[in-house]
Amino acid sequence: MIADDDPGILDAVGIMLEYEGYEVDSTLNGSSLLTMNDKFADLLLLDIWMSGVDGRDICRHLKKNPQTGNIPIVLISASKDIERSAMEAGADDFLAKPFEISDLLEKIEKYTC
Amino acid sequence: MVRHLQTGEIFPVFNNCIRIDDPITGTPIGVGAVMRDLRPEMAAKKALADNEQLLRNITSAAPTGLWMSDVQGAITYVNQTWVDWSAASYEDNLGSGWANAIVEEDRVRASAKFLNDVTNRNLYEVEFRINHADGTVRWCVANGRPQYDSESNFTGYIGACVDITEQKNLQQQKDDFIGIASHELKTPVTSIKAYTQVLERMLSKNGESKEAGMISKMDKQINRLTSLIGDLLDVTKINSGRLQFNDQEFDFNMLVKDLVEDLQHTSAKHTLVVDFASTGYVFGDKERIRQVITNLITNAIKYSPNADKIIIRTSLKKNEVRLCVQDFGIGISEDKIERVFEQFYRVSGDMQHTFPGLGLGLYISSEIIKREGGRIWVTSTVGEGSTFCFSLPVYNQNNNSAT
């Protein structure tokens, strides 16, 4: 499951991951993740700066909720400097934009095997 | 007042009379008088008063705050402009009272800098905010020069305070804009990069290696673009003091070795030769230091198009880890060498259009090294090449001196 407020990124990353054999769901609206109650993803890719919503807050929320607390979350951001605050929000990992496919795939494999 | 017997002029005098007594009997026998023409004295007094008035008029007309202090840093004079800004009386501003106009957060720093400069007789300059009488907070830069009398004795300071609020606001706006712009620019670049990499994999898989090769070159150009955008963003962070460091302990030589291996691929012409001395571990922001080393090596490659090697040396010298990158390229002339670490500074002259770049790399590198507590410098000979070096202090986990 990818959440990012840019449709270009959702499309490109979606195609990329599907080509590599993953099933991908995507959403432009980060807050919709808070009301998930079935069909949980095996991994969440969350953008930090989405219009009006901070991915770190969503991450914190999901981690606190026992139903969603075990889903691995990778936070993505255009700024590498906020890696620390991303990890402090409970994220399992962090990736800076723009990223190499190989780095993304490596992280996904790490958390879904 | 007397009348001159010959010219008829009437003028004021100072009259000193003495009574002359007979030295033996004590009986008064006469009176002596000395009269001093007061006109020169009065003219001089008037000239002085006129000058003082002129000084007051000039200093009041100046839109800048002006001040004088004694040898210990107690303020002895402020002009009307400063009095107006400070919403306090002239008397309240003397001595150390002037500092009350300064915003509380800045007060200690500004006063300490002032006293420090006065004690050392340095040229004084510091920026701080004041609570202006009109209710707003304004930014000022205060500067001052030590004054000496005709016998070279130190007599105090004379200086000014200039309102720089407009410049500060503009700088802030500019920084905010560049920050947002960099973020916006990275967004489409992210999807372009993703599409490019998928395409490359698809083409490789289908055996279309020539096409895959072209896409791979596109990807490298995207990386270059990303790096330029990153530099812009870094500069605004530096300028607004928002550069953050994530320090950790890491093996210095290992970082350099990995980096040199990666960077070797960027130049078919140059051989990157390494010369390592044992340097051990360094405590710092690995990514940022990697950024600095990359900058120095890519510059070395860029500015030595006709050379075939670049030497990278590491060494450990009393508590400092040192890295030097030596190229055999165009070199830097004496008059320009002081300026290479300045923001926006680029090679100029005939070569201007041959060397790409924003002129930010060395500025960013020098700021990073400085904030990590190190030094960065360059030695060079025109036509023979340059050697850029930086040093970083070494800490081990217990913060003792390095072995």
SS3 string, chain B, reads: CEECCCCCCEECEEEEEEEEECCCCCCEEEEEEEEEECHHHHHHHHHHHHHHHHHHHHHHHCCCEEEEECCCCCEEEECHHHHHHHCCCHHHHCECHHHHHECHHHHHHHHHHHHHHHHHCCCEEEEEEEECCCCCEEEEEEEEEEEECCCCCEEEEEEEEEECHHHHHHHHHHHHHHHHHHHHHHHHHHHHHHHHHHHHHHHHHCCCHHHHHHHHHHHHHHHHHHHHHHHHHHHHHHHCCCCCCCCEEEEHHHHHHHHHHHHHCCCCCCEEEEEECCCCEEEECHHHHHHHHHHHHHHHHHCCCCCCEEEEEEEEECCEEEEEEEECCCCCCCCCHHHCCCCCCCCCHHHHHCCCCCCCHHHHHHHHHHHCCCEEEEEEECCCEEEEEEEEECCCCCCCCCC
**Lowest-confidence range among B40-54, B96-110, B384-398?**
B384-398
* A contacts of B186 (beta carbons < 8 Å): 78, 97-98
pLDDT the model gives residue A38: 65
* Mean pLDDT in residue range A27-50: 81
**Lowest-confidence range among B66-80, B152-166, B236-250, B307-321?**
B236-250
> B344 CA to chain A: closest CA distance, Å?
23
> A36 CA to chain B: closest CA distance, Å?
26
Nearest to B197 among A8, A16, A97 (CB): A16
* Mean pLDDT in residue range B329-334: 86
Residue range A9-24, pLDDT digits in tens: 899 989 988 988 888 8
* A contacts of B244 (beta carbons < 8 Å): 81, 84
* B contacts of A84 (beta carbons < 8 Å): 244, 246
**Mean pLDDT of all residues in chain B?**
86
pTM of the model: 0.62
- Which residue of chain A has the CA closest to B191? A9
- Which residue of chain A has the CA closest to B243? A81
**B191 to A8: CB separation less than 8 angstroms, yes or no:** yes
Is the pLDDT higher at B356 or at A107?
A107
ipTM given for this complex: 0.87
pLDDT the model gives residue B403: 39
**Lowest-confidence range among B53-57, B138-142, B236-240, B346-350?**
B346-350
Residue range B131-170, pLDDT digits in tens: 998 889 999 999 999 999 988 899 999 999 999 999 888 8
> B191 CA to chain A: closest CA distance, Å?
5
pLDDT at B238 over 50: yes
pLDDT the model gives residue B398: 42
pLDDT at B323 over 80: yes
